[in-house]
């Protein structure tokens, strides 16, 4: 895909809103995305077809329902990186009046800044804090690019979080990958290691989703686990 074609796919506000919503790592129906972006179902269907044809989304059908998700972690990283890219305001930009429901939107954004999912790994202040902690404890090194150390592999095994068999091999998913956090402007950890940590945190109820979005809440059990495992005081 050419850069111009990719830029064209993401230049539309509705398609961009779809991609941002799908960063929660789950599959959404076309109707759910239409309501999220406040567009007609027919409009949503047209935009989704373009995103699927462009390789940014993958489609699944179950009976009458059409589900879509991001095509993979590389797409999620691309979307998150673009969202984090600082774009200066144009000289003639004027602040707009607060839209209806702006307080609710501000609350959601604040919650996502504290802790959220970025596709299948932890992001926000929580994700950045976890990255700092695993680096400080020597579980991950960043000397020649992010890499999982032997100590980190042993720690992960003791935690009971397994990496997929093809991880790190040619054509497979990277073991560790940094992802620029769009709210913190610092990196959190993606890759198979970041996904394993996020999956474990959700399965063991260390974090729980707030509503239907990407925002997460750290539970009391999670506070204890993160303190004991990584020395984090949240």
Prediction pTM value: 0.70
Q: Which of 52, 30, 32, 57 is nearest to 42 (CA)?
A: 30
pLDDT on residue 100: 45
pLDDT on residue 95: 39
pLDDT on residue 96: 39
Q: Which domains are present in the chain?
A: 3-71 (1.10.10.10), 105-230 (no CATH)
Residue 3 CB contacts under 8 Å (≥ 6 apart), including other chains? none
pLDDT on residue 171: 63
pLDDT on residue 111: 85
* Largest distance between two CA atoms of the chain: 56
pLDDT on residue 228: 96
What distances in angstroms separate CA 210 from CA 42, 180, 188, 196, 207, one per listed residue?
29, 23, 20, 20, 9
pLDDT in tens, the chain (234 residues): 688 888 899 999 999 999 988 988 888 998 999 998 999 999 999 999 999 999 999 998 877 777 899 988 888 888 877 877 765 555 554 433 334 456 566 677 788 889 999 888 999 999 999 999 999 999 999 888 889 999 999 999 999 988 877 676 666 788 998 888 878 888 899 999 999 999 999 999 999 999 877 899 999 999 999 999 999 987
Cβ atoms of 167 and 192 closer than 8 Å: yes
Cβ atoms of 168 and 193 closer than 8 Å: no
């Amino acid at each position: 895909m050419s850069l111009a074609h990719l830029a064209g796919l993401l230049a539309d506000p509705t398609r961009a809103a779809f991609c941002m919503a799908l960063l929660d790592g789950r599959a959404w129906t076309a109707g759910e995305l239409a309501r999220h972006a406040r567009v007609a179902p027919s409009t949503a269907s047209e935009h989704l077809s373009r995103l699927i044809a462009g390789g940014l989304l993958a489609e699944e059908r179950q009976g009458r329902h059409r589900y879509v998700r991001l095509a993979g972690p590389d797409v999620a990283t691309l979307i998150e990186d673009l969202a984090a890219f600082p774009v200066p305001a144009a000289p003639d930009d004027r602040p707009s009046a607060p839209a209806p429901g702006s307080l609710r939107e501000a609350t959601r954004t604040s919650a996502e800044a504290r802790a959220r999912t970025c596709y299948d790994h932890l992001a926000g202040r929580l994700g950045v804090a976890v990255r700092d902690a695993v680096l400080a404890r020597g579980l991950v090194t960043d000397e020649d690019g992010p890499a999982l150390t032997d100590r980190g592999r042993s720690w992960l095994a003791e935690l009971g979080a397994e990496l997929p068999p093809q991880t790190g091999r040619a054509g497979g998913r990277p073991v560790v990958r940094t992802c620029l956090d769009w709210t913190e402007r610092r990196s959190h950890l993606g890759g198979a290691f970041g996904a394993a940590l996020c999956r474990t945190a959700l399965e063991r109820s260390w974090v729980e989703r707030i509503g239907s979005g990407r925002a997460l809440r750290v539970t009391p059990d999670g506070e204890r686990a993160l303190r004991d495992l990584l020395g984090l005081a949240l």
